[in-house]
Structure 1
Amino acid sequence: MHNKVILLASDQFGKGEPELGEIVMETFLVHVKQAEQKPAAIFCMNRGVFNLTEQSLAHLHLKELEEQGVPVYGCKTCVEHYGVADKLKAGQIAGMNLFVELSGKHEVFTIS
């Protein structure tokens, strides 16, 4: 994961049953959290911003990744669209310009 930006474009990992996708997302983040090499950043957009709220257990792992020094961001447009700005438990709100900057410096690994 070193030198990669993880783009969480969904609140589920993969297509199919939503409950399974949420469990797989949480499992993925647990393994990222436990990995020796951490990603350069995690950027949440579209429904991925729900991972930053109590609606998803993923927010606990994202908060821990922040505490380990991994910057975590939520797309400003998406956070505003879904009305969750006051519900974020992890991450900072950032504009698309930051994602463009990050993607220019690092490989993007997309989860949708």
Structure 2
Amino acid sequence: MSKIVILNSSRFGQGNPRLGEKLMNDFFESLANMESLPDAILFYNSAVNLACVEPGILNPLKSIEKRGCRLMISASSLDFYNLNKDLKAGSIASMEEMTEIMMNAESVIKP
């Protein structure tokens, strides 16, 4: 893997929660329209909600995934938030798998 994105929250930044949610939505819409995609996006902590229950983000996520970007969703985070049955995009990954991807990446982006 050469380029990965790591998300640990369902919103961007520490400011206003509604603005953070809008910015996250804008990020995925923009990413879905880019010619070049990261090799993988890793979701952990509350970011797992994006692949489960955030309807505005599911369409761009599915589009990104169809184009070959691997969406890795933390198994531990899904368990913690009781979202195992709600996963709508991506695949469940262990922290060991996610750590291996991070350690082998040439570029790690944490927005």
Same fold (TM over 0.5): yes
Q: C-alpha deviations, 1:16-51, integer Å up to 9, x for none?
A: 111111110011111111111110101100000000
| C-alpha deviation, 1:104, in angstroms | 1.5
Contact 1:50 1:56 in 2 (8 A): no
Partner of 1:110: 110
Corresponding residue SS for 2:110: strand
Q: Which amino acid aligns with 1:71?
A: R
Task: Determine what percentage of the aligned residue pairs are the same residue.
Answer: 29
List gaps (5 residues or longer) in structure 1.
none
List gaps (5 residues or longer) in structure 2.
none
The CA RMSD over aligned residues, in Å, is: 1.5
Calculate the TM-score normalised by the size of structure 1. 0.91
Calculate the TM-score normalised by the size of structure 2. 0.91
Partner of 1:57: 56
Partner of 1:71: 70
Q: C-alpha deviations, 1:41-78, integer Å up to 9, x for none?
A: 01100000000012352222111111111110110000
Aligned length: 110
Partner of 1:98: 97
